[in-house]
Amino acid sequence: MNIKISKFIKQKNKKPLVCLTAYSKYMSKIIDKYCDMILVGDSMANVIYGMKNTHKITLDMIIMHAKSVKKGIEKSLFVVDMPKNTYQNSVEAKKNALKIIRACKCDAVKIESNGKNYKIIKHLVKSGISVMGHIGYTPQFKNTFKPEGLSKKQNDKLIKESKEIEEAGAFSIVLECITSKTSEEITKNLKIPTIGIGSSINCDGQILVTEDILGISGFSPKFVKKYINLNKLIEKGVQKYKSDVNKKIFPKKINSY
């Protein structure tokens, strides 16, 4: 296990872990100073490629963006998502995880849970690959959004699933859109840090999609807090550019050769 990962685990019960996504060097360079972990997630499908779900993201697309993101990271733990259908069995999972790690020089990969693939995590960890789990609303396996953990049956299933993932050797686990009560129980029950997205304050850390908190994606469910409205700022800049070009204010002599 590398130093960044053991530091990440040790932060449980000390200081909340700050995590965000990035899809380019320019974004990772800005957020690296403030993050404990940066994820190249398959949410790039929505926020970069305008797709309606994450199902069509390929290994090559993830690798291309992760290589760019790596260039901007100095200190954060660097995790890359394994796209849908790239870890359907242990052999395929290991081959594709190694492809990602070798190409992107990331510290770990993240795998969404379908409720029974913890054996794949076990195989990867045994092979020396660090894995982050992901339970609750897992977009690769679910088509319609709904919060998880509302019934006693769901609560118990999520608690069991999180324990199996920890026992398989994952170093951390994302809890997506899980009720406050279930998140609290999972977080207390595990030794590894839980990272919440839409899963309340009762997690060891938080992750959000950077484009969502900056107001670029236009995606604003209640679990996302918009910290600035970058769309408005971009529009303002582009309006000024249009006006300068139309009025022949730009380019000036200093912009010319």
Residues labelled as active-site residues: 176
Of 1-9, 41-49, 154-162, 221-229, which part binds ligand KIV (CB under 6 A)? 41-49
**Shortest distance, position 41 Cβ to ligand KIV, whole Å:** 2
**# residues contacting ligand KIV (CB under 6 A):** 10
Q: Are 13 and 204 in contact (CB under 8 A)?
A: yes
Q: Which is nearer to ligand KIV, 39 or 213 (CB)?
A: 39
Q: Which stretch binds ligand KIV (CB under 6 A): 10-18, 39-47, 143-151, 245-253?
A: 39-47
What string marks each residue from 82 to 121 as x (binds ligand KIV by CB under 6 A) or -?
----------------------------------------
Q: Give bridge partners of residue 131 from the DSSP assignment.
A: 109
Q: Which candidate, 199, 153, 150, 154, places its Cα nearest to that of 174? A: 199
Nearer of residues 62 and 168 to ligand KIV, judged by Cβ: 62
User: Is 5 a residue that touches ligand KIV (CB under 6 A)?
Assistant: no
Q: Which is nearer to ligand KIV, 106 or 239 (CB)?
A: 106
Does the footprint of ligand KIV cover residue 140 (CB under 6 A)?
no
Q: Does 170 bind ligand KIV (CB under 6 A)?
A: no
End-to-end CA distance of the chain: 54
Q: In the complex, what is the shortest distance from the CB of residue 191 to ligand KIV, in angstroms, rounded to a whole number?
A: 21
Q: Binding of ligand KIV at residue 212 (CB under 6 A)?
A: no
Binding of ligand KIV by 194 (CB under 6 A): no
The footprint of ligand KIV (CB under 6 A) covers 21, 39, 41-43, 81, 174, 197, 207, 209
